[in-house]
Amino acid sequence: MNFYRETTLGPVSITLEAGEVRAVQFGVMVKPVEQPLVDAQTYVLLQQVVAVLEGDVIELPLRLIGSPWQLQVWRALLNIPRGQVRSYGQLASLLGRPTAARAVAKACASNQLAVLVPCHRVIARDGNLSGYRWGLDLKKQLLRREEVIPAS
């Protein structure tokens, strides 16, 4: 089921399937005329996803769908603690492929679970923020919230 929510991070589309979060994507979306009616379990999961987007720390059931490499990268991202960052090269080395920084970046760009799989915690080797699928302004906002970069 697809849902649309307004959050402090901006409008977001959330897809839930079989009790798991399948996708969380930011951007301008057409708000559905009616949100689907849901059972209590789905309602609670949807509220938990929104709470995480607003800054709460809740472990959620995620449905990761991708290539074996993408899954490996995304699982590594889940192990980066809140308030810390890694470079693309550090992640590549951690995964046993020290020359695969660009492949890590490509896997990050393919992530369908914004914020929940924290691609925003990956930066360039030189410490610059570099790219983010949903824009550098959102990446800065997320890293400020996690106190990685100072508020301006």
Q: How many Å apart are CA 85 and CA 32, to the nearest integer?
A: 36
Cβ-based burial of 74 (10 A; exposed 0-12, middle 13-18, buried ≥19): buried
CA distance between the termini of the chain: 38
Catalytic residue among 119, 122, 138, 143: 119
Q: Which of 31, 27, 2 is nearest to 12 (CA)?
A: 27
Our answer to whether residue 119 is catalytic in this structure is yes
Q: What share of the chain is helix, strand, coil (3-state, %, to 5)?
A: 35, 20, 45
Q: What is the DSSP string of 100-119?
A: -HHHHHHHHHT-SBTTTS-G
Which token pair is 3? 């849902």
Question: What amino acid positions are annotated as catalytic residues?
Answer: 119
